[in-house]
Structure 1
Amino acid sequence: MLALLIAVSASLARMAEAYIVSLLIALVLGSLMARNKVVESIMLPVLDILQSIPILGFFPAALAMFIANLPRALGVEAAAVFLIVTSLVWNMIFGVYASIKSLEPSVFDMARVYSLGAVSRFFYIYVPASRAALLANSLISWAGGWFFLTAAEVITLGEEEYKLTGIGAFIMESYNRGDYASFYIGVAALFATIMATYVLLWNPAVKSVRDLPLPSVSAFYEKFSEVVSRVWSGLGEALVWVEARVKLPGFVPRVVGATLLVVALFYLGSGVAGLLSLDVVGVAKSFLHELPLSLARVSIVLVFSLVLSLLIAYLTYSFRRAAMLIGASGELLASVPAIIWWPLLGYVALTFSWGPLVVLFTVLLQGSLWYLYFNILVFGLGSIRKEHEELAAVYGVKGWHFFRSIFFPSVFPSLLTGALSSWGGAWNATIAAEYVTLGQRTIDLGGVGALLNRYTVEGEAGKTALAALFLSLVIVAVDKAVWARLFSRLSGKFAGE
């Protein structure tokens, strides 16, 4: 029991550290992108690629940046936090970016009139403007971090394995050694921990800015929020005080920014040069051979997720008494680490010939469905206007007619945004869905996810990174060719007007 408590505490601390890092990155980078056209033009395409890289694609970077340069224990812990950050940070950055971009120009005119410096603008304009978007996106990001937790706690490349104490590792080790009692106790402890974080922290936080049907207990959040507000306000006041008394020449921030950009480009160039030294043609052939299978699976799951998420969201909207139960179930299921579904459904996977495909579909669905559902729940349901509901009640518009004429047009922009995230989430889930080792048995179902796992098991760090880059380029290409056109053509046509 002590080992379980330590494992839960370690994973929870790791998640908290990754979230704090992600929050700071999102606030700084998102505000820079929103207010600096050079940073915006560089970072938007870079982020498009980075958010499309599955967690295995970041393993070589984690090894190179942290494990190779820090003492082993510290390096492995830092690498795990870094990998979890890659599952949390992207939509948080875009949330901050969109919030600040949408501010009225008069806000920035007033900032210039009162000669507010960069630090003052950050603490008094950018952060408050981003609060609602950050909280709403944190609901989704927190689930994404738990979903890939196990992959971050056990980093394997060839013969090298770096394993950390954590609930994900505890559950998998218990299953692999046949200790099923510890396995199910670990799963129960994981579920309890996940739900506690939502009920005590995230749900009341989100409900403070959006009226959503989520179970929550506000007492803990109120105390926690008060402490965080005091610390943040103190930090802001201290930095603003320093800024007011230490007048840096105007060129200093530009020099610092340019230096950071040069360093980043140097490492990026070194990485690209390293990838080009590999058997690019061979990796490309293997990738193209596996791509159609994964593409078919992801497309099927995406369509299924679209239909199911709409149904769940409509049930949530229609049956308010069941809304909290549906919301809580979604939060719990969305957070279950991807790899744990294999041992949970191990009997099915190892007994029936069709079993592995059932588990594969389950894992892909978990990686895809909840992006859609939470986007509709958090952003879409709030778009249904009261006057439309009242008119529907007056004229007796119910059932299918209400769904087609009011519900669907109102939530469609959020559904489209969720579908874009769902598309990327399903691709990231292929690494856990298409390849797994259960005890002494390895299940390889083919596909891009399986290819990445095979390269990782073989210790081919460069090939892993190159295949992940190919995958990200495919995802970005589809985003630009399909999703961007959908957004541009349908913008304004489905707004519940």
Structure 2
Amino acid sequence: MAFFSTNIPKNRLNWVDLFVLIFIFTILYSILNLGAGMNAPFTLENQTEIALDPSLLPYYAGRSLLRMFIAFGASLLFTLLYGYIAAKSRTAEKVLIPLLDMLQSIPVLGFLSATITAFIALFPGSLFGVELASILAIFTGQAWNMTFSFYNSLMTIPKDLQEASEVLRMNWWQRFVKLEVPFSMIGLVWNSMMAFGGGWFFLAASEAISVLGQNIRLPGVGSYLAAAIEAGDMQAIAYSIFTMILMIVLVDQLFWRPLVVWSQKFKMELTESADAPTSFVYDILRRSKLLSVLQKLILSPIAKGTNYFLDQIASVSEHTAQEFQSIPRHHIISKLLKLLALLLFLQLMRDPIYNAYILVSSMDGGELLGIVQLGLYTLGRVMIAVLLGALWTVPVGVWIGLNPRMARMLQPVVQIAASFPANMMFPFITILFLKYQVNFEWGSISLMMLGTQWYILFNVIAGAMSIPNDLHEAGAIFKLSGWRKWKALILPSIFPFLITGIITASGGAWNASIVSELVSWHDTQLVATGLGSYISNVTEQGDWAGIIWGITVMCLFVVTINRLLWRRLYNIAETKYHLD
């Protein structure tokens, strides 16, 4: 499959090719230069100080971007593998989807607490271990909503397309590359943008690490911001905010905008919309003869070879599976293999589980009951934040998604608003709360919304953009308008996307509670009673019993709410509002 048009001059290069060549070499040189700094010497006693000199911000920005894109690449691979297995195996689905609910509810600080010491020990004397811990923390802010989106798309593929793939006798790899990934592309691109925004949100926590009594600073915009807040330097905070906005705009225009335009080719419709999204970068890439040559000589042979190799593996694996099913008592053999895998897992986890039990058994029942009560406070804030977020994101998201011209103008604005780390604004909001004596028990809800409402907005936009033009024309024929159009066309079409957005927003709100229920400005702290502020405190103190119980209670709340409410709505979306 060619990614760009080859309708270009055949006998000469043009200025576009010079621009593309310079850009490619700049990216490669930057990756090599910035990557070298990730393996610098490091000890806890002798760390590099984060200077507030604004001339260092370009280098800090490059280091942050490198971590973000490495984490995004890992998130994409995780999404495709995890989402595919969950969608294809009903047995695996019963385990993987509740596990995904729990994973998205574990705070970033929880992952850092469990990994930072191990990574430092794994790479002694090198900064690389801390870098890996930071990248893993960013990964945990990106992967979950991408995985939910891909899983949701696989579960809602129209039956006629599934039947067509069976008629054509496609193996699992052919279905994956020719049906499943293309069908999920629009939702995956928009959720990837939101996932990248989630990574920005926790950038400061992943670069300025304060866990288990350790304070570690990695070169980056997030650690620069943390240092500026500690110093109370408003000018440095302004520099970091400007740098962050510039980074977000550049990433949007150079990376996400071309992907949005490219993803429209996978929109399922019989008639094409007259007003499609555009991107000047995408147009430049299409005009480049250099990229066409690289694609023909390098990328296409690699893609064809990889596709052939995996196609052969898929054919052999399906043939082996059919032979296995023909063996008498294969169900018994399958159950024995699953039991063996479970026993092996329990054997590997025996010591960690025992050590965790020793830690948490020291906590008395009254303290545990107090943690559950804190969880109820945070639950109330999460539900209010999700409800308020949905009230404005649904109409605005539909308006943007159904108006390509508005989408072109507002996408950079929405991308900046969604990607901009809301916790960068917390110092200013804290000052306002202190000045006007705002009750932080309620004010923390607004901070939580700043980081989570965008999950709903991006999914609604993706849902509105993926409504086939055929349905719009049918609605015009039947003269649908106002509430009748919303009831008969818009809401049923966006409902699966909306529920996916609400599930990920709910999990994101729980995760964001660790930074929204406890904020500080210089020497002043505002604390809201809740599970998020509790986890922040015990993590900083290195209280492992409190960390484990806090995360466990948060996971139980998230899984319970998802099972009782959100997952039931998702089942309705999967069965009733299904495009066939």
TM-score after normalising by structure 1: 0.84
**Hey, what does 1:374 align to over in structure 2?**
458
Task: Please say if 1:473 is aligned against 2:526.
Answer: no
- Checking the alignment, whether the CA contact within 8 Å between 2:148 and 2:500 is kept in structure 1 is no
- Checking the alignment, whether the CA contact within 8 Å between 1:18 and 1:85 is kept in structure 2 is yes
Deviations 1:100-153 (A, max 9, x none): 5647266468668xxx7x888877777666655533431221111112221111
Task: Please say if 1:61 is aligned against 2:108.
Answer: no
Name the aligned partner's letter for residue 443 of structure 1: L
- Checking the alignment, whether the CA contact within 8 Å between 1:371 and 1:422 is kept in structure 2 is yes
**Hey, what does 1:168 align to over in structure 2?**
222
Give matches, 1:56-455, under 5 Å.
56-71=109-124, 72-99=126-153, 102=157, 104=162, 107=165, 131-210=185-264, 217-219=281-283, 234=302, 237=305, 265-266=346-347, 268-277=349-358, 278=360, 279-280=362-363, 281=365, 284-316=368-400, 321-354=405-438, 356=440, 360-383=444-467, 386-388=470-472, 391-392=475-476, 395=479, 398-455=481-538
Deviations 1:73-122 (A, max 9, x none): 1111000111111111123334444555647266468668xxx7x88887
- Checking the alignment, whether the CA contact within 8 Å between 2:397 and 2:464 is kept in structure 1 is no
**RMSD over aligned Cα, in angstroms?**
3.9
**Hey, what does 2:84 align to over in structure 1?**
31
- Checking the alignment, whether the CA contact within 8 Å between 1:53 and 1:471 is kept in structure 2 is yes
Distance 1:225 1:260 in 2: 47
Larger mean Cα displacement after TM superposition, 158-167 or 406-415: 406-415
Larger mean Cα displacement after TM superposition, 337-346 or 72-81: 337-346
Name the aligned partner's letter for residue 20 of structure 1: G
Per the alignment, do residues 169 and 69 of structure 1 end up closer, same or farther by CA in structure 2, a change over 3 Å counting?
same
Q: CA deviation at 1:19?
A: 0.9
Larger mean Cα displacement after TM superposition, 128-137 or 306-315: 128-137
Distance 1:401 1:125 in 2: 33
Distance 2:337 2:256 in 1: 36
Q: CA deviation at 1:411?
A: 2.5
Distance 2:58 2:191 in 1: 29
* Secondary structure of 1:209 counterpart: helix
- Checking the alignment, whether the CA contact within 8 Å between 1:360 and 1:433 is kept in structure 2 is yes
- Checking the alignment, whether the CA contact within 8 Å between 2:109 and 2:211 is kept in structure 1 is no
Q: CA deviation at 1:431?
A: 1.0
Larger mean Cα displacement after TM superposition, 457-466 or 433-442: 457-466
* Secondary structure of 1:442 counterpart: strand
- Checking the alignment, whether the CA contact within 8 Å between 1:283 and 1:467 is kept in structure 2 is no
Distance 2:577 2:424 in 1: 38
Distance 1:327 1:337 in 2: 17
Q: CA deviation at 1:28?
A: 2.9
Q: CA deviation at 1:392?
A: 4.3
Distance 2:386 2:443 in 1: 16
Give matches, 1:30-49, under 5 Å.
30-36=83-89, 39-49=92-102
**Hey, what does 1:51 align to over in structure 2?**
104
Name the aligned partner's letter for residue 217 of structure 1: V
Larger mean Cα displacement after TM superposition, 350-359 or 78-87: 350-359
**Hey, what does 1:2 align to over in structure 2?**
55
- Checking the alignment, whether the CA contact within 8 Å between 1:17 and 1:81 is kept in structure 2 is yes
Per the alignment, do residues 95 and 298 of structure 1 end up closer, same or farther by CA in structure 2, a change over 3 Å counting?
closer
* Secondary structure of 1:383 counterpart: coil
Distance 2:249 2:67 in 1: 17
Give ranges in structure 1 of 5+ residues lacking alignment.
none
Per the alignment, do residues 151 and 350 of structure 1 end up closer, same or farther by CA in structure 2, a change over 3 Å counting?
same
Per the alignment, do residues 367 and 9 of structure 1 end up closer, same or farther by CA in structure 2, a change over 3 Å counting?
same
Name the aligned partner's letter for residue 166 of structure 1: G
Q: CA deviation at 1:18?
A: 0.4
TM-score after normalising by structure 2: 0.73
Per the alignment, do residues 462 and 123 of structure 1 end up closer, same or farther by CA in structure 2, a change over 3 Å counting?
farther
Deviations 1:23-47 (A, max 9, x none): 2222333334444555444433322
Distance 1:235 1:225 in 2: 15
Name the aligned partner's letter for residue 282 of structure 2: S
- Checking the alignment, whether the CA contact within 8 Å between 1:350 and 1:356 is kept in structure 2 is no
Per the alignment, do residues 309 and 267 of structure 1 end up closer, same or farther by CA in structure 2, a change over 3 Å counting?
farther
Distance 2:258 2:354 in 1: 48
**Hey, what does 1:22 align to over in structure 2?**
75
Name the aligned partner's letter for residue 476 of structure 1: V
Q: Using the aligned pairs only, state the percent identity.
A: 25
Q: CA deviation at 1:327?
A: 2.7
Q: CA deviation at 1:404?
A: 4.7
* Secondary structure of 2:105 counterpart: coil
Per the alignment, do residues 39 and 487 of structure 1 end up closer, same or farther by CA in structure 2, a change over 3 Å counting?
closer
Distance 1:175 1:7 in 2: 16
- Checking the alignment, whether the CA contact within 8 Å between 2:150 and 2:187 is kept in structure 1 is yes
- Checking the alignment, whether the CA contact within 8 Å between 2:441 and 2:529 is kept in structure 1 is no
Name the aligned partner's letter for residue 305 of structure 2: E
Deviations 1:294-352 (A, max 9, x none): 12211211111111112312442576544334332221111122421212434313322
Q: CA deviation at 1:12?
A: 0.2
* Secondary structure of 2:519 counterpart: strand
Per the alignment, do residues 321 and 243 of structure 1 end up closer, same or farther by CA in structure 2, a change over 3 Å counting?
closer
Distance 2:85 2:309 in 1: 21
- Checking the alignment, whether the CA contact within 8 Å between 1:168 and 1:337 is kept in structure 2 is no
Q: CA deviation at 1:273?
A: 2.8
Q: CA deviation at 1:402?
A: 4.1
Q: CA deviation at 1:256?
A: 12
Distance 2:206 2:444 in 1: 20
Distance 2:185 2:398 in 1: 27
